[in-house]
Every structure is written in structure tokens, then in C-alpha cells.
Structure 1
């Protein structure tokens, strides 16, 4: 068995002094792995959230809870974008469409149209001997028209895009979901809330001007938001014309049914028992004969 060489004790305890420099040295570490970057980390988190959303059942409340998870500031920004064609409403709804804003816009519009419609009827008949009464049926009529429009038209657009766009991987990613289209249409109805109040002004040409203005403004916002998907279809011109036509028809229906001023004045209320004018002298003669 070989023995290890002995080391002198002086060499073991030989300490050295190293000079301390005043310069500060920095170490730079470069990462070449793209999976470690912050952007990709955020994308992975978003992808993880999307997968969690997709795993939720359509018939559970957790699935619809995501569409109401939004703050007030974001709703106000989307409302402003719905009346400003320069603001890309479609991009604001690209990542996270919501149903909270469209829900309250729809409810507010229903009651605004009902109240303003009754107010317009009262103002038109106020200067006539007419017994006016509040029409509560306007609430149900407005609710039926608005809810049917916001459900049927977006569903028809979604099914039409599914059938007319070629089924490629790139195109399928550009087709908006049915909830996103409903969200777009819900926010596009906001313009009719102030317009319905202005429709109470009983001037025919002013009412028609409001119809054209509201339908053109909100319709252009819808077209700009849906254009990335519409341009992939061979029937994009037909779809664009149908969207504008339906939006104009909705505004026209609101004005004609709830606010339009008729050409003929309202008829006076006749008494069920009309009074017969009897001459005063004739009544005296009948009293004397009696």
C-alpha cells in the first residue's frame, strides 16, 4: 500500500493577500431559449386559460361566468368604441368578449323605447280633447323586437360564415364565435338609447334624419368589426349589404312603430251618451202644460 507524500505545514498555512479593485464588474446572462421569455410565458398563461375555458361545459354557470367577468372601465371603453368608427371595437373584443355590457344596454334600451314611445304619444295628443293613457304593451313589444334581433341576426351571420368560408386552418381562426358576434350587436345598440329620447321630438324630417344617422353609424362599426371575417367569404358583398339592411330596418321599425307622427290628427273621444240640446222656450211650454 503506497503512502501519500507529506506536505509541509508552512505551505498549508500560507495565506495570500489579494488586492481589492475599485472597479465593479457586471455579469450578463443571455438566454437563447425562447420558452424562458416573458412574452412567451404570458402566451402560455393565456393558452392555459383558454384550455381551462374550453373544458368547461356549455350547460354550467362557470362557462357563462367568463362573459360577465369585466370591469366598468372596459365596458365604458367598448361603449365609446361602438359609436366611434375610428376605434377598433373588433380588436377590443378579440381576446375577451363579454355579455355584461350588451345585457345592460339591451335592458336599458327596452325601457327607454317604451317610456319615450309613450311620451311621444302623449306629446302628439296633448293639444287635442283626447283621453290619453299609458300603453304598457310597448315594453313587451320592444323587448320582443330587440331580443329577437340580437339573437337571430348574429346566429345567422355565424352560420353563414361557417358555411361560406373555406375550411382551412387559417380561415377557421378568423371566424368569430357566436358570443363575440352577439357582443358586437349588443354594443352596437347603444346609439339607439339617446336616439330614442330624441325621437320624442314630433318633427317628421328630424325623426327620419335620426334613423339614417343611427343606422349608418352603428352599421359602419359592425362592418369594420366583422370585415376580417367577411373578406374571407365569396359572398362578402352580400353579407355586408344584409348587415346594413337589417340594421336600417331595425331603426326604421323603432321610429315608425313607437315614435312616428301620423298624418291625420287623433279622433276626439265621443261620449257614450250624447247630450241633446233642447230649446229653452220649448222646455218652459212643456212645464206649463204639465
Structure 2
């Protein structure tokens, strides 16, 4: 028999699917905040390195030209020829609740609308095996558990791996 017939049909519940969807929404939101912070940190570091490299050709301010100091000069001598000498000031990692609201809206809409559309299509086509809407909602909610580790793995900045993991989770969820 199918998963619904073996595990859900005797006692469909919404407890597990609710907590799985909530966990997925929080995980996506937290990982999004971390990725945003890391991208900002990488951007600050790249901008500081570019500023440091652009500043290398300028003379020190103490260099005099015709009795006056130069108009554009660097304030400190270059240390060790690397961007490590530039001190970066980072903002601390902060959790933004706007991401959580959006993540919860998308996750819970997906958890309810996809089974509703599937159940409605099966009702319209008069399929041989008809499951109740509650059974479809329960099975679909449990199937989203595969996306939780994929959301955590999205912290890795390897697009090909992210795509493969997401495709595997979508296949596992759909099957």
C-alpha cells in the first residue's frame, strides 16, 4: 500500500505537519539571515581590499610638493602589502523578523494550497483512490521534512551542490 494507507489513513493528524512546516519556516529564515550577513561581510572585506589596493599608489601625507602637502594622500604606510592591514568594522549578526513572516507565509501557503489543488484535481477527475483532504494535507506536510536539511545546507556557497540537494529533496518530497 501507499504511505497514506499504511501510516496516515487510520489516524490522520496535523500535529506533525504543523511542526515540520514551522521548523522549515524558522530554518529558512535563520539561514537567510546568516547568508545575508555572510554576503555583507564578504562585500565589506572586498571593498576594504579594493580601497587598500587603490590607496597603495598614493604618497604619504608628509610628502611636500612645492611647500605644501599633496591633496590626495594615504594616511598610513602600507603594511606587509596585503589587505589584512585594513581594519574592518562589522555589524553583529541580527535576526530580522520580516524574513520570518515572509518565510512563514510562503511555507504555510505552500503546505495548504498544494494539497488542496491536488485533492481538488483528484475530485474533479474522479480518481480511483480518493483520499480525504486531511489525509492529503497530512502526507504533504510530512513530506516537507526533506527540505529542512537542504535549508541548512544552503549555507554552503556552492550553487551546483545547492541545486542538486534541492532537486533531491523535491524528488523525495514528491515521491
TM-score, normalised by the number of residues in structure 1: 0.41
Task: Give the structure 2 partner of residue 126 of structure 1.
Answer: 41
Q: 1:194 aligns with which of 146, 149, 152?
A: 149
SS in 2 for 1:127: helix
Q: Are residue 148 (structure 1) and residue 109 (structure 2) matched?
A: yes
Match of 2:131 in 1: 176
Q: CA RMSD in A?
A: 2.0
Work out which of the residue numbers 78, 101, 110 in structure 1 matches 2:25. Answer: 110
Shift of 1:201: 0.7
Out of 133, 136, 146, which is 2:97 matched to? 136
Counterpart of 1:23 in structure 2 is: none
Change (3 A) 1:159 1:128: closer
> Equivalent of 2:123, from 162, 167, 178?
162
Q: Quick check: 2:30–2:95 contact (8 Å CA) kept in 1?
A: no
Shift of residue 155, structure 1, vs aligned partner: 1.2
Q: CA deviation at 1:89?
A: 2.2
Q: For 1:155 and 1:148, locate their aligned partners in 2 and report how far apart those are by CA, in whole Å.
A: 10
Distance 1:127 1:161, change over 3 A: closer
* Separation of aligned partners in 2, 1:212 and 1:159: 26
CA distance in 2, matches of 1:196, 1:93: 26
Runs (4+) of structure 1 exceeding 6 A deviation are none
User: Highest Rg: 1 or 2?
Assistant: 1
Gaps of 5+ in 1: 1-86, 221-290
The reply on whether 1:211 has 2:166 as its aligned counterpart is yes
Query: Paired residues, what number?
Result: 128
Q: Aligned equivalents of 2:124 and 2:144: distance in 1?
A: 27
Structure 2 gaps, min length 5: 46-89
**Bigger relative contact order (CA 8 A; separation at least 6):** 2
- 1:154 and 1:134 map into 2 onto residues whose CA distance is 31
Residue in 2 aligned with 1:99? 14
Q: How far 1:88 moved relative to its partner?
A: 4.6
